[in-house]
Amino acid sequence: MGKFTKKLTNSFSSLARSSLRIVKASLKIISQLCLRGVTEQLLEIVLFGVGLGLAFIFYSLGASNSLALGLSLFIVISIVILAIRFFFFRKSKLARSRTVITTSTKIRAEEKLVNWIAQTLAQKAPQEWEEYQDWLHDILLDRLQLLDRGFPVWKVRVITYWRLTGFCLIVGLMKLRRLVVSLRA
């Protein structure tokens, strides 16, 4: 009976911790949404104030009501359009930097495979490793060149894995051939 209650309390405590994490994440999202809403409201109030201020300035300079409102509306809309353009320019710049980040993480995944192959060869056959080292280096160098030329990442990954598979097969066949030749002698 004691083991059952202990398991039950452990599962309940882990469930409670998970629930608290979910509640914490939900509250964080809600607070971010509220902050975004307040920011947008303040932005609208500021733009409205700028528009009214400009209209008042134009009206005090002697322009008619309709001309003052039209000019102030034109200036405020121009400011909004420039801000939107800047926002989307910034967003596209961030998107480009994210593709670089994802590309570099994919490079790391393939480099891990190459490192594993290199370590295996260096440990099991150090003499052959000296021969095949340049081949692995060329495979990675060509991969980076393809990425720099703008090839899609999935194509570069397929090409790289295909070349690494061919490398492993050829090295394996050469080792098998050397083994057979040494057994015949």
Q: Going by C-beta distance under 8 Å and a sequence separation of 6 or more, which residues neighbour residue 173?
A: none
| pLDDT at residue 106 in the model | 52
Q: Is residue 170 part of a domain?
A: yes
Percent of the chain residues topping a pLDDT of 90: 0
Measured CA to CA in angstroms, residue 156 lies from 97, 136, 177 at distances of 19, 15, 31
> Domain span at residue 111?
98-185
Q: What is the pLDDT of residue 150?
A: 87
Say how many domains are in the chain.
1
Does the residue 140 lie in any domain? yes
Q: What is the pTM assigned to this prediction?
A: 0.41
* Domain assignment present for 6: no
Using alpha carbons, select from 136, 132, 141, 133 the residue that is nearest to residue 171.
132
